[in-house]
Amino acid sequence: MSSFKRRQFLQLFGLTAGASILSATGHPRSSTARPLVSHMAQAEAAVTNDPFTAYMKQAESALHEEFRGITTDGQIIPKLYSIKPTGKSTKLVQQAADSLIATLNQQQKQKTLFPINSIEWRRWSNIHRYPRQGIALKEMTMRQKQLAFNLLRVSLSVRGFETTRDIMRLNQVLAQLTNKPEEYGKELYWFSFMGQPSMTEPWGWQLEGHHLIINYFVLGEQVVMAPTFMGSEPVRATEGEYAGTRVFELEESKGLATIRALTVEQRNKAILNREIPPEVFTTAFRDNFELRYEGISFPDLMSGQQELLLDLIQEYIGNIRDGHAQVKMEEIRQHLENTYFAWMGGFDDNSVFYYRIHSPVVLIEFDHQAGQALGTKKPSRNHIHTVVRTPNGNDYGRDILRQHYEQFDHSHLHLH
């Protein structure tokens, strides 16, 4: 295999030359080292002719694994989640979804509507070539687009909605910069629905496309918005229609403020490596990834440092609609004694870096990336990936859905 093709192949998996392919269940000995797994020879053989074919094979292999969820050691911590009232209505979300679904013709419904327990929840990828399900903004009527954006508007906070729109706009900028409108663009984002919108039964929606994936599960007054993958290349537009658009500025600056607030001794605990990983660890098709707690624990921080970390967490959780963001933050606060902050890379004004915040009920990752579409070989601040997960089996609201099944007779259904 040529060095160029090998590098192209590895980049598809978010890896760098000299690294190994990481399976959906691979457990690194330490996240300070490159992830290891035994599939390298098989995967390289598959990529000889087409690296994307190898990616698809790896993806399908991961999807065939029974969903377990993100854990530290393969074992789910029980009783973290429960079905309960939140006092935060989801009526507007349900109405917005119903309004959009009502406009779909039969052909559109066939590719957009899926059962609540469908494997389609897990069929998402940041890679722009990945085959999509659902209906794209590009193929919607003007009225359908208005209804689709209304669904996003009532499901997300004001900031979450604007970030979502800005990621789409910057994908349009990328199309212009690369002259590849068939691969990138602000309307190459797909909506799908799992279950039927309801105030009592479980259902959800998914938005999927390049650098933007939102999985949104609803049961009664409860919302689980995870996994959520957000990124951009570039992260800012300097000219043209969207000049001035910028994403992840606060996620970047608040991360730096947090690591800089630590003492030298504390940084020695928090910093795992001076090199950054080539990709966030829990990207697509890593629903069962095992990632141990590393870094500095919340109790080892002083009160001012703790407030900085909580503010950084809020920056991500705050993308959910306001009331449900408060509910999630309350859940996170209940597990602060087991919350860890880890860092890789530098923390100077121009440094590239990776950080994560990890607890039994939330996993947040931020990573500066090497260029893909724009071709820069080294990681830069112009390409960012982030991901938010709900560990221990509740990505896609799966643990809450399991409990719902146990309360009612759903013996004919099966969780994938």
* Residue 61, in any domain of the structure: no
Q: pLDDT tens-digit profile of 117-161?
A: 999 999 999 999 999 999 999 999 999 999 999 999 999 999 999
Residue 75: pLDDT over 50: yes
Residue at 74 is within a domain: yes
Is the Cα torsion angle 283, 287, 289, 295 positive or negative in sign? positive
Q: What is the mean pLDDT of residues 253-263?
A: 98
Q: What's the whole-number average pLDDT of the chain?
A: 89
Q: Note every long-range contact of 2-7, with CB atoms under 8 Å and residues 24 or more positions apart, other chains counting.
A: 5/47, 5/48, 5/51, 6/44, 6/47
pLDDT tens per residue across span 79-91: 999 999 999 999 9
Over residues 35-58, the mean pLDDT reads 59
Query: Could you tell me the pLDDT band of residue 21, with boundaries at 50, 70 and 90?
Result: very low
Residue 184 lies in a domain: yes
pLDDT at 411: 53
- For the residues 40-64, what does the mean pLDDT come to? 73
Angle, in degrees to the nearest 10, between helices 91-102 and 142-155: 160
Confidence of residue 32 (pLDDT cuts 50, 70, 90): very low
Q: Tell me the three state secondary structure of residue 157.
A: coil
The pLDDT of residue 377 is: 84
Q: Is the pLDDT of residue 306 over 50?
A: yes
The answer to whether position 352 is within a domain reads: yes
Do the beta carbons of residue 134 and residue 148 sit within 8 Å? Answer: no
In a domain, 247, yes or no: yes
Binning the chain into helix, strand and coil, the percentages to the nearest 5 are 40, 20, 45
Q: What is the pLDDT of residue 410?
A: 56
Domain assignment of residue 376, given as a range: 66-407
Q: What is the pLDDT of residue 415?
A: 59
For residue 156, tell me if it sits in a domain.
yes
Considering the domain boundaries, does residue 147 fall inside one?
Answer: yes
Query: What pLDDT, on the 0 to 100 scale, is given for residue 413?
Result: 55
Average pLDDT over residues 261-268: 98
Residue 24, domain member (yes or no)? no
Phi/psi for 206 (5° steps) reads: -135, 135
Give the per-residue pLDDT at 315.
98
Mean pLDDT over 215-244 rounds to 98
Residues 52/129, Cβ–Cβ less than 8 Å? yes
Of 285-289, 296-300, 368-372, minimum mean pLDDT range: 368-372
Q: What is the pLDDT of residue 179?
A: 97
Q: CB under 8 Å to 330, separation ≥6 — which residues?
A: none
How far is C-alpha 317 from the geometric centre of its chain's CA atoms? 12
Please state the domain count of the chain. Answer: 1
- Determine the pLDDT at residue 288: 98
